[in-house]
Amino acid sequence: MIQENEIESPFSHKVAYECENTSTSANEQGLEIEPQLRHDENVVMDGRSEALSEKGFLAITTEIPKEAPTMKKRRGPTKLVKVHARTMDERPYLILNKFGQPVGPTDEIVEEFTRFLGTLAKDSELAPLNFVNWPSLPTHDKIWDYVQETYLVPEEGRKWVMETVNYAWRIHKCKMKQKYYYAFDTDEERLEKPPETMPKTHFEDLLNYWNLTTTKEESETNKRNRQMLEDMHTMGPKSYALLRHKFASIFRQEDPNKQEPSQAKVYKASRSRNPKKTYKTSFKKTKDNIVSLSYYILTSLNS
């Protein structure tokens, strides 16, 4: 029996997920999760002291930094240190829609909340990676309790919160596999440079699991399926719920009797692209879908 402070081996759980089948188009939360590790190459710290924050997160207090030769800055992972240090009295109250998804009080707070949930998925105590699938984690209640210590979320929002952390957890596991498994040829090389963000025993469990023949076969299948996905949203950390809420507010200003925006309108808005940006996936399929939806909306209005 697993005790609350122990981690069970992945091999006792059914295989349910591999990172190559992640689809942002199928994700209701619209998350974009950055890699876990960060290298601050433009600053050399002369001295530093470490202390645990009130919630158990490691707080780094740095002293006088010495300037180093200028190097290209790279965006690191979202840490939200100030949010994790928030007191109970400072917790913002989240407004949910009828589906239990956060839509307020402001867009900024909702987007911050989504990013905050992404940081929980990277915590090796709250969401250890050496479990094959999300349902097998014994820490769901701990995650919810921690969320409630930082935000005031009605109970109706728990399902959405867990789905969001689940999605971010899977993305994080995928990033770890890309950076610490595929980047090396042998386990000896991998164990020489393990992730600093998880216990070594967790990483050893993952290596054993990733080396299984059945896991490799499923990974290849999922990778091929993933490569066929072209219809991707471009909302970044914004959620579909927030986008629908924004449209609904505009509609009510124009006509109080109007209903919520159709899925077609939300789809078109979620796939808009910036012509100055370069995207990894083709826009052809999405463009064809938008044309079909526009024709459908036009004919519906005229009927």
Q: What percent of the chain has pLDDT over 90?
A: 45
Per-residue pLDDT tens for 90-120? 999 999 998 999 999 998 999 999 999 999 9
For position 215, what pLDDT does the model report?
Answer: 94
CB 34 within 8 A of CB 77: yes
Cα within 13 Å of Cα(9), Cβ side: 8
CB atoms within 10 A of CB 143: 22
Please list the ranges in the chain whose pLDDT falls under 70.
1-77, 227-240, 245, 247-263, 280, 282-283, 296-298, 300-303
Domain boundary assignment for the chain: 10-227, 240-302
Distance between CA 85 and CA 121 in Å, rounded?
17
CA proximity to 108, closest of 92, 89, 85, 120: 92
CB 73 within 8 A of CB 208: no
Per-residue pLDDT tens for 243-254? 776 766 655 555
CB 241 within 8 A of CB 33: no
Distance between CA 112 and CA 131 in Å, rounded?
27
CB 265 within 8 A of CB 248: no
Tokens of 289: 């879908």
Omega before 105 cis (within 30°)? yes
Per-residue pLDDT tens for 211-234? 999 999 999 988 887 766 666 666
Give CA torsion, residues 154, 156, 162, 164, to 10 deg. Answer: -90
Describe the crossing of helices 158-180 and 140-150 by its angle, rounded to 10 degrees.
110
182: DSSP letter: T
State pTM to two decimals: 0.62
Q: In the block, which residue shows the tokens 């590790």?
A: 37
Letter string b/e over residues 232-244, b meaning 16 or more CB atoms within 10 A of that residue's CB:
bbbbebbbbbbbb
